[in-house]
Amino acid sequence: MTKRQNQIVLAVASVSIIAALMLLLYYYFVTNVNRKELDMYKPKYFSIDELTYSKTAERLEIDNHPTDPEIRDNLMALIMKVLDPLRDAYGNPIYVNSGYRSPFLNSLIGGAASSQHLKGQAVDITTGSKSENKKLYDLILQMGDFDQLIDESDFSWVHVSYKRVGYNRKQTLKL
């Protein structure tokens, strides 16, 4: 190998190492909740079972439990970063209308193909009253740890999502 070829190989190797390090740093800094945090967290008010329960799935005998550990991690992060702190701040029970949806269940109920419910990143919650749901919405907005916050049907329920990995947009919508 010539001196010039050795220099090229060395340059390519250096660029590859730098790219790999940058990717690792990027992943480290955009990971909002790491594995150790999830393993150590003990939910106070909500459970994975509660976020995967579906009356429709039960009625149609559909297994709505995620098999992908990534989805379970997303659900736990949603509990840890949004739901449990919200319940502490609100001081009263909060009910889950819909959490994780398997692709089959999501298609049956007419859910969006890109729904964050499919990834275990979203939950629809209620207190049972529109005025109290508005309070939940305002609390989530104030607390600020969410990806998407939606007032559904004039506070009939509140949709909130959280990304365990990546940028949380803090997007608010009214549907």
- From 17-26, 97-106, 110-119, 151-160, the region with the lowest mean pLDDT: 17-26
Average pLDDT, the chain: 92
Whether residue 44 contacts residue 84, with contact meaning beta carbons closer than 8 Å, is answered with yes
Measured between alpha carbons, how far is 68 from 56 in angstroms, rounded to an integer? 21
Rg of the Cα atoms in the chain? 21
What confidence category does residue 136 fall into, taking pLDDT thresholds of 50, 70 and 90?
Answer: very high
Q: Whole-prediction pTM value? A: 0.82
Residue partners of 76: CB distance under 8 A and separation at least 6? 38, 41, 43, 48
